[in-house]
Amino acid sequence: MASECAPLVKTGGLADVIGSLPKALAKTGVRVRVLLPEYPDISNLTGSREPALRFENLFGGPAAIHAIHVHDMNLLVLSAPHLYRREGNIYLGPDGQDWPDNHTRFAALSYAGAEIAQSGIAGWKPDIVNLHDWQTGLLPAYLAQSATSVPPTIMTIHNIAYQGLFDSGQLANLQLRSEIFTASGAEFYGKIGFLKAGIAFADTVTTVSPRYAKELLNPEFGMGLDGLLRARQDDLVGIVNGIDLDTWNPETDPHLVANYSVRALKGRQLNKQAIIARFGLRPGTGPLFAVVSRLTQQKGLDLLLDCIPALVAQDARLALLGSGDADLENGFARASRRYPDSVGVMIGYDEPLSHLLQGGCDAVIVPSRFEPCGLTQLYGLRYGTLPVVAQTGGLADTVIDANEAALAANCATGFQFAPVTADALNQTLVRVCKLYQNRQIWARMIRRAMRHPVGWDQSATAYHKIYSDLISRS
Ligand code: ADP
């Protein structure tokens, strides 16, 4: 269960995972159905077919679930026009603020999921329910309130910074009983915590990299849930995300100007020229850096702003695609006005352009203050755009820094910096620029990065094992 799923509806990495993990699980013998809300973009897929389950009144209006097969996925789509038929961002209203009824919208998703978990749908009942992020966190709380036998649940945390905290006055409206609203249950400092409920009541908790699983136990990263997670430490597992190797394949990617492979890298040059032209940059002797990111405090891009003069001094260029906080959008817009030939900025969300940047830039910068897994650096590896990452979470787990030892051992795939400060990033960017001048070492690193396994195989097997263990335990 999740609130987004690529390619149907995406605001971030969660969608990529929900769109690709089920296919990988299928290869290990797990049959998956994905429960999603029916946003406007999805409603044209369900058409007028008969629903598999109806709710006369699901938190304020009629609702139904349709079982459909699209993009090689079996979906269960929760149609509830009073909750999901809204244009624009799936979480935000036209004023840029959260929809005022997000608590109802996502409690309804959990409530419908709990119904399916208990009673099944169209002759099918799940053996396991895997929940993703706060939008689905209430499901185990609803199951805890039920007297029937229920399947085991797994709460997967993709980002603990988003917890779904709502006014406790909503408890009755959300059909939650007061027994679950305790410090060891759904209560978080007087509010209803959707993610907290998920962590407290699920049978197992996973997150999206081993290092983030450790970090979450500390107050610095646990964001108030570290105590609960320490109490559940034995049930907490970190499994690194994979990527969809078909969608993200430089040999076939339709969004590239030229396709290429690890044996024939020439196409990268044409993609690079296309990026340089599109962003209005000049050709230079230094590397072309990419950023593809939400522009938020988490992503640490304010640190990069401080490094721009040094980048320009190294004859490097930067192509940034992103959107988010106004001060960061304005900061990068200013930088591109100040250095128009060196810094190109596109504010917005553009899936095809994100592929082209990975297919033609020399390095991709991910300076996150915290990063549960991160996908951009995995796409960078797959496309030979060497990742420059902060040493945190999944970034630290997936990129091997080009220090002297790693270069000598032929295993470096990118660059890490720590602590996560502008100074450390600056020094690392200078280090990248220097290494870039050694064309032989750089070319070798590109090939090594492209061969680095970033698919789902290993991780899908790890999920499969958790599912099997839970089923045999229950
Ligand atoms: P998060 O989920 O925290 O945003 P991830 O690195 O896990 O970070 O995933 C981000 C995903 O969103 C990647 O697929 C990335 O390519 C994509 N993305 C982020 N910003 C943009 C953008 N402005 N345009 C296109 N794709 C973007």
pLDDT, tens digit, for every residue of 301-332? 999 999 999 999 999 999 999 999 999 999 99
Closest ligand 1 atom to the C-alpha of 373?
7
* Residue 474 clears pLDDT 90, i.e. is over it: no
Residues 136 and 5: their CA atoms lie apart, in Å, by 14
* Ligand 1 centre distance from Cα of residue 324 (Å): 11
For ligand 1, whether the C-beta of 19 sits within 6 Å is: no
**Reduced to 3 states, what is the DSSP secondary structure of residue 327?**
helix
Q: How many angstroms is it from 243 CA to the middle of ligand 1? A: 12
Q: List own/partner pairs for 422-428 with CB under 8 A and 24 or more apart.
A: 422/303, 422/304, 422/306, 422/307, 425/300, 425/303, 425/304, 425/306, 425/307, 425/365, 425/367, 425/390, 426/306, 426/307, 426/310, 428/388
3-state secondary structure of 228: helix
Distance 244 CA to ligand 1 centre (A): 14
Question: Is the CB of 395 inside a 6 Å radius of any atom of ligand 1?
Answer: no
Q: Is the CB of 445 under 6 A from ligand 1?
A: no
In the sheet that holds 317-324, the strands lie side by side as 343-347, 317-324, 288-295, 363-366, 386-390, 415-417
Residue appearing with tokens 């270069």: 407
Question: For ligand 1, is residue 241 a contact (CB within 6 Å)?
Answer: no
- State the virtual CA torsion across 49, 55, 56, 59 in degrees, nearest 10: -130
Edge-to-edge strands, sheet with 153-157:
129-132, 153-157, 204-207, 236-238
Cβ(349) – ligand 1 distance below 6 Å? yes
Give yes or no for residue 362 CB within 6 A of ligand 1: no
User: What's the pTM?
Assistant: 0.95
| 232 against 88, higher pLDDT | 232
Of the candidates 419, 383, 378, the residue with the CA atom closest to the CA atom of residue 399: 378
Average pLDDT, the chain: 96
Mean pLDDT of 434-444: 97
At 432, the pLDDT band (50, 70, 90 cuts) reads very high
In short, whether 351's Cβ falls inside 6 Å of ligand 1 is yes
320: helix, strand or coil: strand
The arithmetic mean of pLDDT across residues 269-284, rounded, is 97
Residue 50 identity: E
* Single-letter amino acid, residue 204: T
- Answer yes or no: is the C-beta of 321 below 6 A from any ligand 1 atom: yes
Closest atom, ligand 1, to C-alpha of 6: 14
Instruction: Give the mean model confidence (pLDDT) for residues 385-398.
Output: 98
Query: What's the CA gap between 187 and 35, in Å, rounded?
Result: 26
Taken in order 141, 144, 150, 151, the sign of the CA dihedral is positive
Residue nearest to atom 19 of ligand 1 (CA): 293
**pLDDT tens-place string over residues 30-87:** 999 999 999 998 888 877 678 999 999 999 999 999 999 998 999 999 999 999 999 8
Rounded Cα distance between 140 and 196, Å, is: 11
Taking the centre of ligand 1 as the mean of its atom positions, its distance from the CA of residue 321, in whole angstroms, is 10
pLDDT of residue 45: 81
Looking at residue 351, what is its pLDDT?
Answer: 95
pLDDT band at 181 (very low <50, low <70, confident <90, very high): very high
> CA 473, CA 455: separation in Å to the nearest integer?
29
Q: Which of 93-97, 239-243, 334-338 has the lowest mean pLDDT?
A: 93-97
Report the Cα–Cα distance between both ends of the chain, in Å, rounded. Answer: 21
**Which tens digits make up the pLDDT trace of 100-139?**
999 999 999 999 999 999 999 988 999 999 999 999 999 9
For the Cβ of 328 lying below 6 angstroms from any atom of ligand 1, the answer is no
Q: How far is the CA of 353 from the centre of ligand 1 (A)?
A: 12
pLDDT score at 452: 97
**Cβ distance 293 to 302 under 8 Å?**
no
What single DSSP character describes residue 134?
G
Q: In testing the pocket of ligand 1, which one of 3, 16, 162 has its CB within 8 Å of the most ligand atoms?
A: 16
State whether the beta carbon of 16 lies less than 6 angstroms from ligand 1. yes
Any atom of ligand 1 within 6 Å of the Cβ of 20:
no
From ligand 1's centre to the CA of 341, what distance in Å?
A: 25
Give percent above pLDDT 90 in the chain. Answer: 95
Is the beta carbon of 77 within 6 A of some atom in ligand 1?
Answer: no
Q: Is 252 helix (H, G, I), strand (E, B) or coil?
A: coil
Residue 13 Cβ contacting ligand 1 at under 6 Å? yes
The closest residue, in CA terms, to atom 22 on ligand 1 is 349
The CB of 235 under 6 Å from ligand 1? The reply is no
pLDDT of res. 148: 83
